[in-house]
Amino acid sequence: MDMEVTAWMSLHHAMNAEDDRRPFSKVTLRRIARFARPHRRRLAAFLGFSVVMAVVAVATPVLAGRVVDAIVDGKATATVVGLAVVIAGLALAEGGLGLANRWLSARIGEGLILDLRTAVFDHVQRMPVAFFTRTRTGALVSRLNNDVIGAQRAFSDTLSGVVSNLVTLLLTLAVMIGISWQITLLALVLLPVFVLPARRMGTRLARLQREAAAHDAAMSTQMTERFSAPGATLVKLFGRPDRESAEFAARARRVRDIGVRAAMVQHVFITALTVVSALALALVYGLGGFLSLRGQLDAGAVVSLALLLTRLYAPLTALASARVEVMSALVSFERVFEVLDLTPLVAERPAPRTVPDGPVAVEFEHVRFAYPSADKVSLASLEEVAGLDTRGGEEVLHDVSFRAEPGQMVALVGSSGAGKSTIAQLLPRLYDTDEGTVRLGGEDVRDLSFASIRETLGMVTQDGHLFHESIRANLLLARPEATEDELWDVLRRARLDALIRSLPDGLDTIVGERGYRLSGGERQRLTIARLLLARPAW
Ligand SMILES: Nc1ncnc2c1ncn2[C@@H]1O[C@H](COP(=O)(O)OP(=O)(O)OP(=O)(O)O)[C@@H](O)[C@H]1O
Ligand SMILES: [Mg+2]
């Protein structure tokens, strides 16, 4: 294999190797095995082919040495031609096997992506509304994309890489030692010079790329939030397009700088490795030539050793980072399983009933309800917070009982935040009651199928767009230079000051995607406060 390719490969491996040294449970490994089971035949074929390819790869340099020996010894032309034909045959076989193996690994890898992706999508879709009010869509989508792909890497790249590299390495070493143990030892002396910078540079590159990825994510969040119809309207009415552009440009510039830096780091690395491998090759030629002149080694053996050496470094450097690479692939698996393991708080019964036909009565019977705590409904990594709140919400509904007959028009009247929308949400089972029963046509909604509830209920919700930022940031959008006093003044006029003062983080409370963690009225009043801030004269 070409030295440059070797260098790229080791760099690639080191870059993908995130330093995660968590131990992994048997349970995780067993679950991975379960996902791999449908692909076991292809996996076995793939591993078998990998071993055969490794053998072929070692055979060619040995045969090349034989050719040189045959020339030096003045053997018959037929011998040389015969050897050349065998080498050609092996090259063809290697190409064919390579094609087959690529197909197998792609088929296994992509098949695994398909299995994991559909499983995660299906599961997430069944999560209750509470889950979506807390998780960041971007984080969830990335779980579906990046981690699923990271997990399949464990199979198609890492697993096969480890097996075939190990076989290649052992075979190559054995053959080299068989030819000349002195030269083999000498060639290995330079190895640390090759492997250590590879890992150092890889770590640096990985850090740069992670930073670039974070900026990319921030840019796409900015774009998706600002480029939605309500977001764009907001920017036009209150926002500062120039500020938005400047913020975006600053991130984009940083990505450019990182790109330039990464390219240079890569090039320095490649140059260093090319030099090191050339030195190792020179050592083989020097010592090999010396021994050959003294009659202790055949000329062909020197050629074989030189060719084998170029095939030794690739598996060695790959294996050097294999452990961490396997670990990071396993992390991806765990992150996928973490989502699959979330049990939906609201689930359909095994044999659900249907709502009776015709107009039905709505009935609440001694209903008590508090919004569930974060740790019950979501994942810290999806909320993009370090740890989840374990505090449950305060009880919102205290022993609510009422009955609305078919055809009756009923209005719920109460102060904002009293729990009117919450009552409405209990009907379609966006949440379940803590105590008491909600009935639709005399049936407990928990016994009904989701489909039948959907067919029976119609619901219009309050809305008001807020960016997924702090209350302060949402207000300042209207007037970035507003003082703290002005903020509290508009909050007071919007009757929001008491609520925001009572929040643990006050003005810095993150309102959640589209503000869905405030009551509808609170949300609307926040948009009113924003308006008041933009128009101080009102
Ligand atoms: N997803 C949620 N998670 C946690 N608490 C919530 C959530 N949604 C609402 N709350 C809280 O529950 C209480 C009741 O909210 P609800 O939306 O039912 O009020 P409401 O009566 O509809 O008020 P409004 O008239 O303002 O719409 C409020 O104190 C609110 O802050
Ligand atoms: Mg409401």
Are both 418 and 501 inside the same structural domain?
no
Last residue of a domain, one of 396, 428, 456: 456
Are both 376 and 518 inside the same structural domain?
no
Q: Indicate the SS3 state at residue 154.
A: helix
d(CA 87, CA 386): 58
- Give the orientation angle of helix 181-189 with respect to helix 160-179, to 10 degrees: 130
Q: DSSP letter at 298? A: -
Are both 419 and 500 inside the same structural domain?
no
Residue 463 lies in a domain: no
Atom of ligand 1 nearest to the CA of 418: 21
359 alpha carbon – ligand 2 mean position (Å): 25
Q: How many residues does the chain have?
A: 538
Residue 356 lies in a domain: no
> Which ligand has its closest atom nearest to the C-alpha of 423?
1
Are both 388 and 329 inside the same structural domain?
no
Are both 211 and 334 inside the same structural domain?
yes
> Which ligand has its closest atom nearest to the C-alpha of 412?
1
Q: Which of 161-170, 195-204, 279-288, 511-520 has the highest mean pLDDT?
A: 279-288
Residue 353 lies in a domain: no
Tokens of 429: 């089972």
Q: For residues 6 and 194, is the Cβ–Cβ distance under 8 A? A: no
Are both 41 and 144 inside the same structural domain?
yes
Residue 320 vs residue 531, higher pLDDT? 531
Q: Which domain holds residue 385?
A: 362-456
Q: For residues 335 and 143, is the Cβ–Cβ distance under 8 A? A: yes
Atom of ligand 1 nearest to the CA of 519: 17
Phi, psi angle pair for 37, to nearest 5°:
-55, -45
Ligand 1: residue whose CA is nearest its atom 29:
417
Phi, psi angle pair for 512, to nearest 5°:
90, 165
Question: Which region among 24-38, 449-463, 477-491, 518-532 has the lowest average model confidence (pLDDT)?
Answer: 449-463
Buried b / exposed e along 249-269 (16+ C-beta atoms within 10 A): eebeeeeeebeeebeebbeeb
Are both 199 and 113 inside the same structural domain?
yes
Confidence class for position 493, pLDDT limits 50, 70, 90:
very high
DSSP per-residue string spanning 476-525: HTT-TT--HHHHHHHHHHTT-HHHHHHSTTGGG-B--GGGTTS-HHHHHH
d(CA 469, CA 526): 13
CB contact set of 5 (below 8 Å; sequence gap of 6+): 314
Global pTM? 0.67
For position 241, which CATH number holds? 1.20.1560.10
Q: Indicate the SS3 state at residue 257.
A: helix
Ligand 1: residue whose CA is nearest its atom 25:
416
Mean pLDDT over 71-89 rounds to: 90
Tokens of 113: 């992506």
Instruction: State which amino acid sits at residue 47.
Output: L
Q: Indicate the SS3 state at residue 133.
A: helix
Single out the residue of 523, 3, 4, 24 nearest to residue 323, CA to CA. 24
DSSP per-residue string spanning 194-207: HHHHHHHHHHHHHH
Buried b / exposed e along 199-211 (16+ C-beta atoms within 10 A): bebbbbbbebbee
Are both 175 and 290 inside the same structural domain?
yes
Task: Identify which of 396, 459, 510, 513 to mutate to test ligand 1's pocket (most ligand atoms within 8 A of the CB).
Answer: 396
Mean pLDDT of the chain: 82
For position 387, which CATH number holds? 3.40.50.300
Ligand 1: residue whose CA is nearest its atom 4:
371
Instruction: State which amino acid sits at residue 441.
Output: G
Position 51 scores a pLDDT of 85
423 alpha carbon – ligand 2 mean position (Å): 9
Tokens of 233: 């309207």
Are both 447 and 515 inside the same structural domain?
no
Position 455 scores a pLDDT of 74
Last residue of a domain, one of 456, 484, 507: 456
Which residues does a 6 A CB cutoff place in the pocket of ligand 1?
Answer: 133, 371, 393, 396, 414, 416-422, 462, 517-522
Q: For residues 394 and 387, is the Cβ–Cβ distance under 8 A? A: no
For residue range 39-62, what is the model confidence (pLDDT) as tens digits?
889 988 988 888 898 888 889 999
- Domain count across the chain: 3
What is the number of helices (H) and of strands (E) in the chain? 22, 4
For residue range 115-172, what is the model confidence (pLDDT) as tens digits?
888 988 888 888 887 888 777 776 677 777 777 777 777 666 776 678 778 888 888 9
Atom of ligand 1 nearest to the CA of 522: 26
Are both 321 and 395 inside the same structural domain?
no
Residue 331 vs residue 100, higher pLDDT? 100
| Whether residue 405 has pLDDT greater than 80 | yes
Last residue of a domain, one of 406, 430, 456: 456
> Which ligand has its closest atom nearest to the C-alpha of 395?
1
421 alpha carbon – ligand 2 mean position (Å): 4
Residue 250 lies in a domain: yes
Tokens of 327: 């670990």
CB atoms within 10 A of CB 121: 12
Task: Identify which of 132, 430, 519, 526 to mutate to test ligand 1's pocket (most ligand atoms within 8 A of the CB).
Answer: 519
Atom of ligand 1 nearest to the CA of 424: 18
Are both 135 and 235 inside the same structural domain?
yes
Are both 451 and 476 inside the same structural domain?
no
518 alpha carbon – ligand 1 mean position (Å): 6
514 alpha carbon – ligand 2 mean position (Å): 15
Single out the residue of 123, 128, 124 nearest to residue 426, CA to CA. 128
Q: For residues 183 and 284, is the Cβ–Cβ distance under 8 A? A: yes
Confidence class for position 194, pLDDT limits 50, 70, 90:
low
Instruction: State which amino acid sits at residue 323.
Output: R
Position 460 scores a pLDDT of 58
209 alpha carbon – ligand 1 mean position (Å): 41
> Which ligand has its closest atom nearest to the C-alpha of 516?
1
Residue 19 lies in a domain: yes
Residue 352 lies in a domain: no
d(CA 54, CA 49): 9
| Whether residue 96 has pLDDT greater than 90 | yes
d(CA 318, CA 5): 12
Residue 318 lies in a domain: yes
Residue 465 lies in a domain: no
